[in-house]
Structure 1
Amino acid sequence: MVWTSAYRDPFALPNPGTVTKDARLSRVQEDRTLAAMRHGSIPGARGRVRPLTLLGDPVLRAPCREVTAFGPELAALVEDLFATMYAARGVGLAANQVGEPLRVFVYDCPDDEDVRHVGHLVNPRLVTADGVVVRGPEGCLSLPGLEAGTERYDHAVVEGFTAAGEPVTVHGTGFFARCLQHECDHLAGRLYPDHLTGWRHRRLRRQASKAPWAHRP
């Protein structure tokens, strides 16, 4: 999942050639994040940035496999997912978005109260999605540059495991709940356009067909 028009990337800069106080602060924050990665204080420090799979790649449409081996390879995948997510300025990334059809995703996402949530889930299961249905702008790193008003519940609970095999339960509200539902969809072979109907769906299909990455080999 990616930042959208309603939830601005704190690292994003304004128009080229414009340097404002906010832009300088954003760049400082980004530099600190990258420095933290290099020093290992946030995930991704040991990971490598992988190419993203884009809309049209069959791996995005197949349900992902359960992880059965918890070990160094899984830990390395989680690190790669974090590194790739940060490089792409995302807030969530599933394993099949880097071509690995496994039930794993990572996130670094705020909720509507600007509380930051950072973590990963292996073999996640969406156990609760309830509350108010909110239609909000939603984007995806596998459909770069696009977004659409998508309905999601404003509360979600996901159960799963860490890369070390420890059970974990994650609660999300607001934008973070949207992120959790979005990433769980990825692992089931679903994308956010699947939730669209009518003119919203038609418009996104047109936009995707004209996107510069649409016919990439």
Structure 2
Amino acid sequence: MSDALADWKPDVLGVEGQVLPVVTAPAGVLSSAGAEVDPADPAIVQLAADLVATMRVSPGCVGLAAPQVGVGAQVFVVDVTEHPKTVTAHGTFVLCNARVVEASRWRPGREGCMSVPDLTGDVKRAGRVVVEAVLPGTGEPVRLTTDAFEARALQHEIDHCAGKLFLDRVAGAHAVYQRKVYL
């Protein structure tokens, strides 16, 4: 992990995040590749803060990408710290223009998504990834190595930024399930 990511906390953005509405499929922004961003742009810094704020008020949410709040941009937040499947966790972080540069240990796992609220699906993803990106605000490049559930969450959010939903990655209709509702 880059020292820059270890030192990065949402408050370094210096702006208050606003909770934004989450868009659901079939909204067009969810199936269009987001644009690369200038991480120093004040609008991107605000978007980063908004993504953190929105994720924090959304029960069970471990990641949220800009397209999910209606913005076609390559920006997302992840925080798997409190999730029971977590092995490795780097806390709350926002990445811009992220790319998977290494992937290994592929395995299937169940995924859900706030933008597809009624379904879950089995998706094969790398269990270990190396991601390169830049941090909002500073524009500092980072290289993040992670595994297990955090690796899955990163790939899920990077997919959102590329215009893909987890449903685009399932093996077929047999791997899609109605989401269980707990009362």
Give the TM-score, by structure 1 length: 0.69
Tell me the distance in 2 between the aligned counterparts of 1:196 and 1:44: 39
Tell me the distance in 2 between the aligned counterparts of 1:43 and 1:70: 10
Find the counterpart in structure 1 of residue 127 from structure 2: 154
Task: Indicate the structure whose relative CO is greater, using CA pairs within 8 Å and at least 6 residues apart.
Answer: 2
Find the counterpart in structure 1 of residue 27 from structure 2: 57
Cα gap change, 1:151 to 1:70, in 2 (>3 Å) = same
* 1:179 Cα deviation from its structure 2 partner: 0.5
Question: Retained in 1: the 8 A contact 2:30–2:160?
Answer: yes
Q: Secondary structure at the match of 2:117?
A: coil
Question: Retained in 2: the 8 A contact 1:121–1:162?
Answer: yes
Tell me the distance in 2 between the aligned counterparts of 1:99 and 1:136: 27
Find the counterpart in structure 2 of residue 104 from structure 1: 75
User: How many residues align structurally?
Assistant: 165
2:106 is equivalent to residue 136 of structure 1: no
1:181-209 alpha-carbon deviations (Å, 9 max, x no partner): 111111111111111123435x44xx49x
Tell me the distance in 2 between the aligned counterparts of 1:185 and 1:54: 15
1:26-45 alpha-carbon deviations (Å, 9 max, x no partner): xxxxxxxxxxxxxx869898
Q: Which has the higher strand share?
A: 2
Find the counterpart in structure 2 of residue 122 from structure 1: 96
Find the counterpart in structure 2 of residue 3 from structure 1: none
Tell me the distance in 2 between the aligned counterparts of 1:44 and 1:84: 17
Tell me the distance in 2 between the aligned counterparts of 1:125 and 1:135: 21
* 1:174 Cα deviation from its structure 2 partner: 0.2
Match of 2:147 among 170, 173, 180: 173
* 1:175 Cα deviation from its structure 2 partner: 0.3
List runs of 5+ in structure 2 lacking aligned partners. Answer: 1-9
Give the TM-score, by structure 2 length: 0.81
Find the counterpart in structure 1 of residue 56 from structure 2: 86
Q: Tell me how large the CA RMSD over aligned residues is.
A: 2.4
- Residue type matched to 1:195 in 2? R
Question: Retained in 1: the 8 A contact 2:66–2:73?
Answer: yes
Tell me the distance in 1 between the aligned counterparts of 2:95 and 2:135: 6
Give aligned-pair identity as a percent.
38
1:136-157 alpha-carbon deviations (Å, 9 max, x no partner): 1111111124312221110011
Match of 1:190 among 144, 164, 167: 164
Find the counterpart in structure 1 of residue 174 from structure 2: 200
